Structure 1
């Protein structure tokens, strides 16, 4: 039957769009190429000690990356904890105590290398501690920002320079100033301030009291290891990121930078840095200044994003400053939007919305408001599903009405097909005339399915990307809706001492998904073709395995949607009994045909 074939086509199309849409779009509408080049003549930052030629591949495949990122090797985790205890005990530090970030500034080298996010815990366990974003140079989770100057015939501070600091801690109400005098007439100053979220502002000033002009190039950099990066997927980018005049670029990954040594994006740099699924570090250069901005591979899985200002000539008796803002924190949509309104270009798109952003952003807005109303993110997802299906219900009614109308004109269509069986063109013309005369749209039955595709994909991206759902519980064993179902049937819900592979990690939600999907297929007329019938019978259980590793919140949405589909189909069949009668007749005919062939 045409309706069954249309349904199969729609299901396949949905799968292709869900898992292949962005890959297809990237092929048809690729982003402008970002030229990757090794720049041997690029200015060397003091103390760097590494060049593009020393770069090694970023990841040989032995490093296990997780969805959120971080160290996964127990030995490395233990070493990191031991190193932090030692390094952070150094007295040459100024404390950072802002509402959303805490840590310290290393006065040796003017590095911001100790930063934790106070509102975000490492795990669902209450005593897990805050997420650590920055770690000092040389530790296994190395990740820090540094400020300085490149000098031309002038003594500038280097990574071993010990700066003098004004009284801390660094808070929104108390800026901190770092100073250093080179002893030959130049004083260097870094004025640091922090807001109540995740933005640190650094004003770098050179005051020249010497007898001659000097030339310097202020710089800011972010240095990190890719070993702690989150998983880089084709739907969710993790790695180098930035805004370069024509939108946010997600096209460069760590491997690209490692292979080229230095990657220099085209266009004016609005901001540049590194992203994980939930976290972001970015440098925002002074808007009216010219800069060189690059991604560099330093070897041993170490990468750098830098902003190097053009040379400044500082006359005797004068001083010149450059101001760089640094974001280091969580990718909270409201916060990013606020910073974008404050002048950071395209900052809200640091979240990898993809091509369905026009759908995803309203879904996130509605989901957050439903959460504020319900107080439970799982309930908010259920309410969102009810709203979406409620809005789609009039279209579903039209779909059934169209199916009923198509069923009513089947005898007339059969007569036309018999009458013009030798003239296909005339047959098609007469059938189209019949559709017009009867007021039937043969494509109306596909509309609800096609409309749900972007909604489902949009919700998939929202649940995968939104930090708002991170560590949010639902009921009973569902402690984190952004993570897969923690209960696995194959290990008897944790009683057996092993963790099944993700593909075999079938949980309670995955089983419920399979059952509810099977129930929705049972309500639809069975396909006439035996192959199609087998496909429909297997699809719920295949999807059960495919969807098991996905976020519990996404499975909750799909289960709720399936239950609503069953209720909706039952109601609409009651309004169009001829369709139900025909479906039952088709099933009986198919069973008889199968027995006859058997």
Structure 2
């Protein structure tokens, strides 16, 4: 086998390896599962055991004495009605366990179900928040409110931003527990808990909040997105996915897999999903214990915020406050809570990634362009124009160098003919030619190097931020966070059958209009670059636009739109800069000649 055929074979194998690695790192997005799909309910009578002395509700152990109810479903409920949240709270345990978001639907169809964030015990993958008091001294577990305590509330009470609801429970031995629940206009609940001690002896209790998930939820399982436990502890962010939670060491104090952090100030803890999260936020700057737990026997994941013990003297009352955020990870909303309501670092609950110094500014610019333009698709195009303007000085030097290299192409062909099979002589001749004409062959890589962190950061922004979810552009692109729904396999909707879905083996061939435009834009841009002297390399470069067209075909439409815009602007910039240096690029004139030369070389 001659050297040229070896080079071509090697280049082909390497291209295949690149494709495999790419799809491992950036797999096509999975179809969105409807979390509201019917599920078989497990029948339980109060899902949790009693509170052990001096500790919190556990997920394992002996069952507590339950109220006289046949199931949790029989417990009375309080409706929640706001412009942004609907649902209800169970009076069994005072659980916040039924939350739907009025502004968000499962799909772009306005008739599709609203997004369900929290769900009741007995439903598939129950997910809810609990608040209460743990006994420390002078009172036992049976006399503090627990997960199965049946609270009382005023008749016909409805929780709205204007009407808080008060829950009460009298343990019958001298203590009365009260919880005032309120909600704001967005996604924040406030829980003010009090204990009044009418007995003759002091008691000591610890206020707590718990967020609990039954079973591991369906996740995207994508390295670019964190889903799982998230917490802020003294200004330090920690993220633990569900796999990591299951591998935590056994904490002897907790009796299960757990990781405790004693937070001095500025902290919160909870669970985050792709677009939604449920977070416990103890009030003020007081210290608290932040604990992540996993109960393996029942596959329950738990986040706890436990405040310091409080002593209640006879005839006195103590109060403890905390907040619960459960809703969409909207940047503006999180920023409001961080800046105006003292929830430190709350914007960082959005997964900005390790390149946050790129991701945050790019999102900020995109967000403000959207506020100005009103359409996220055109805002992405505007963002691309701004970025290209910023890097234009560097691009100018690179494209100027490319223009000079194009001018040297005839001389390089002569060097190749003179050197024959002597590669060393060829390389030395090229270096002398570059030096004589003051050309830096590496400068052509500069625009691509600059694009890599920008591309990754924008990919991150489009994938993780709430603002891109179900954001329309125009025509057939009604969700920029999803792949182009059109397909060449049914002639973009002209043929009477649907295109194959992402789970089909034909999905990679189901190219939409945007991916095809991407391939064309990359090919046009490549036509302005100097062709490699090695025929095998030239063949690989000739195929790269079409390879990338398939690689990016199932990526989010917003990302493909950015790449098309970037390629188009790059082509225009490079063409004009080359013309300014006296070189007239022949974009279409040598296509047939180049194809024949590469075919002959192969």
TM tier, smaller: 0.7 to 0.9
Q: Aligned to 1:525, what secondary structure does the other structure show?
A: coil
- In structure 1, the residue matched to 2:257 is 262
Q: Secondary structure at the match of 2:177?
A: strand
Range with bigger deviation, 485-494 or 314-323:
485-494
- Does residue 511 in structure 1 map to residue 516 in structure 2? yes
Q: Secondary structure at the match of 1:532?
A: helix
Cα distance, 1:249 vs. partner? 1.5
Range with bigger deviation, 121-130 or 403-412 = 403-412
Q: Which moved more, 1:560-569 or 1:461-470?
A: 560-569
Quote the Cα distance in structure 1 between the aligned partners of 2:120 and 2:370: 37
Worse-matched range after superposition: 482-491 or 175-184: 482-491
Contact 1:190 1:203 in 2 (8 A): yes
**Which of 85, 93, 101 in structure 2 is aligned with 1:109?**
93
Cα deviation, residue 508, structure 1: 2.3
Structure 1 pair 318–67 and aligned structure 2 pair: CA distance change class (3 A): farther
1:202-221 paired onto structure 2 within 5 Å? 202-221=191-210
1:124–1:270 distance in 2 versus 1, CA, 3 Å: same
The alignment status of 1:318 with 2:316, answered yes or no, reads: yes
- Give 1:312 shift: 2.7
In structure 2, which of residues 204, 221, 230 is the aligned counterpart of residue 241 of structure 1? Answer: 230
Residues in 1 aligned to 2:233 and 2:210: alpha-carbon distance in whole angstroms? 17
For the residue of structure 1 that corresponds to 2:135, the secondary structure is strand
The normalised TM-score by structure 1 is: 0.77
Q: Is this contact kept in 2: 1:240–1:295, CA < 8 A? A: no
- Given the alignment, which residue of 260, 266, 274 partners 1:277? 274
Distance 1:78-1:477 versus aligned 2 partners, 3 A rule: farther
2:332 to 331, 334, 342: 334
Structure 1 position 448, deviation (Å): 2.6
Q: 1:275-424 maps to which residues of 2 (within 5 A)?
A: 275-286=272-283, 287-297=285-295, 299-341=297-339, 342-404=341-403
Q: CA deviation at 1:195?
A: 1.4
* Matched position secondary structure for 2:287: coil
Distance in 2 separating the partners of 1:541 and 1:265: 51
CA distance in 1, matches of 2:40, 2:548: 36
Q: Name the structure 1 match of 2:171.
A: 182
SS in 2 for 1:558: helix
**TM-score of the superposed pair, with normalisation by structure 2:** 0.76
C-alpha RMSD of matched pairs (Å): 4.0
- Give the whole-Å Cα distance in 1 for the aligned partners of 2:110 and 2:322: 36
CA displacement 1:462-507 (0-9 Å, x = unmatched): 1111211211222222121111122233466574365334544432
2:247 is paired with a residue whose SS is helix
- Asked if the contact 1:149–1:217 (Cα under 8 Å) also holds between the matched residues in 2, the reply is yes
SS at match of 1:215: strand
Query: What does 1:413-562 align with in structure 2 at a 5 Å threshold?
Result: 444-490=443-489, 495-496=496-497, 498-499=500-501, 500-501=504-505, 502-562=507-567
**For residues 278-298 of structure 1, what are the alpha-carbon distances to aligned partners after superposition, in whole Å with 9 as ceiling and x for unaligned?**
101111123313324223235
With over 3 angstroms needed to count, the CA separation of the structure-2 counterparts of 1:368 and 1:316, relative to structure 1, is: same
Structure with the larger helix share: 1
Q: Aligned runs of 1:548-587 on 2, under 5 Å? A: 548-578=553-583, 580=585
> How is 1:27-176 mapped onto 2 (pairs within 5 angstroms)?
70-71=34-35, 76=39, 92-152=76-136, 153-154=139-140, 155-166=143-154, 168-176=157-165
Cα separation, 2, equivalents of 1:390 and 1:557: 14
Q: Distance in 1 between matches of 2:196 and 2:32?
A: 43
SS in 2 for 1:539: helix
Q: Distance in 1 between matches of 2:532 and 2:369?
A: 39
Look up the match of 1:31.
none
Q: For residue 221 of structure 1, report the CA deviation from its aligned partner.
A: 0.7
Paired residues of 1:378 and 1:473 also in contact (CA < 8 A): yes
Q: 1:519 to 1:265 in 2, by over 3 A?
A: farther
Q: Aligned to 1:164, what secondary structure does the other structure show? A: coil
Q: How far off its partner does 1:371 sit?
A: 2.3
Q: Distance in 1 between matches of 2:38 and 2:390?
A: 53
Cα-to-partner distance string for 1:429-470 (whole Å, 9 max, x where unaligned): x989x97x9987665443332222222222111111121121
Structure 2: unaligned runs, 5 residues or longer: 1-10, 44-69, 249-255, 420-424
SS at match of 2:279: strand
- Work out whether residues 68 and 231 of structure 1, in 8 Å CA contact, stay in contact via their aligned partners in 2: no
